[in-house]
Structure 1
Amino acid sequence: MSLERGTAPDPFDILPVKPTFELTSNDFSEGQPLDKRHAHDSAGGDNASPHLRWSGFPAETKSFAVTCYDPDAPTGSGFWHWVLVGIPADTTELLTDAARSGPLPGGVIHARNDYGQAGYGGCAPPEGDVVHRYVFAVHALDVEDLGLDSSATPAYVGFNLTFHTLARGILRGTYQR
């Protein structure tokens, strides 16, 4: 079976099912376009990470991780835009542009994204390509520390998240140039 461009599977459709909790943003709504300020500077944006707020996660949560993934990138493996681990369990919000200008709680680690940098890398789909989906997820974890550092690849972080996620909040935005 062949899929049309733009219909790549959502990453959480192929991972073990987990309970969900609420994830919202002041910057975009489910299924709606992200503002250009959240695009990568190479695409004329400000490379500002969006605001995220979460609630309703399990009481036994010991920390959080945040990821942003584009399953529609023309790479054969999607594209990881943001991988943030070590967020304390009492943190329930990241402000707009927190990835670059803070404030981020102590102990937070930006793992490398697919731009090869530690931090948020904004949207930058090829001009004229299909609408790309950006899957933001907050993972409630059963450990305080995944034992990773900023050199960890997104795939390695994802592997560890699979075994330590209690529940997740998911919010999907879109972007097209």
Structure 2
Amino acid sequence: MFDYDPYSFLTPVPEFEVRSDSFTDGATFAPAQVHAGAHPGGRDLSPQLSWTGFPEGTRSFAVTVYDPDAPTASGYWHWAVANIPASVTALAEGAGTPSSPLLPSGALTLKNDGGFPGYMGSAPPLGHGPHRYMVVHAVDIESLDVGADPTPATLGFNLHFHTLARARITGPYEV
């Protein structure tokens, strides 16, 4: 399943570093990052993330948690946050909880494919195999003007034109 890279057909951009205190790159998500309604022990807490080495000229960041392995033709968006100020280089675990005070002022949380603005933990179907998640984008403008009620796909379209660099960390999960 991991043969498909959803970013492979986009314009190549440099990479920078992202890490998490909530999980190790390539290691299975902890129950905290799993969807509460789909799996026992799930808590729907967005993972802690921190990033370094982004390019000069970065004016903001966006975080997208996209599952390209979902059994749909369009994948599944678990979390999308734009307009994170360039001065912010980390998000605390749980920052994706709806109305969380842990997100910086001005950050825009979009509705996920579950229909609410916040983080929805991983929830692959039983027996479907491992699914994977997590990207941080360095953006060349302070605020992406994506409209009043954008979808994560609309954010992704706008990021195509404004991403200076991309940092990826993979948190797989399967049941």
Larger fraction in helix? 1
Match of 1:67?
64
Match of 2:160?
162
Farther-moved stretch of structure 1 (144-153 vs 50-59): 144-153
Query: How has the CA–CA distance of structure 1 residues 68 and 151 changed in structure 2, closer, same or farther, with 3 Å as cutoff?
Result: same
Q: Distance in 2 between matches of 1:64 and 1:75?
A: 27
User: How far off is 1:8 after superposition?
Assistant: 5.6
Q: Map Cα deviations across residues 140-168 of structure 1 (whole Å, 9 max, x no partner).
A: 11100111256211111100000000001
The percent identity for this pair of structures is: 47
* TM-score after normalising by structure 1: 0.92
Equivalent residues in 2 for 1:119-130 (5 A)?
A: 119-130=118-129
Aligned with 1:175: secondary structure? Answer: coil
* TM-score after normalising by structure 2: 0.93
Larger fraction in strand? 1
Aligned with 1:162: secondary structure? Answer: helix
Q: Distance in 2 between matches of 1:147 and 1:27?
A: 31
Query: How has the CA–CA distance of structure 1 residues 7 and 133 changed in structure 2, closer, same or farther, with 3 Å as cutoff?
Result: same
CA RMSD of superposed structures (Å)? 1.2
Q: Map Cα deviations across residues 59-101 of structure 1 (whole Å, 9 max, x no partner).
A: 2101000001111100121111110001000000001111113
User: How far off is 1:32 after superposition?
Assistant: 1.1
Unmatched runs of 5 consecutive residues or more in structure 1 = 1-5
Q: Distance in 2 between matches of 1:158 and 1:72?
A: 17
Aligned with 2:171: secondary structure? Answer: strand
Equivalent residues in 2 for 1:1-177 (5 A)?
A: 6-7=1-2, 9-43=4-38, 44=40, 45-100=42-97, 101-134=100-133, 136-149=134-147, 151-177=149-175
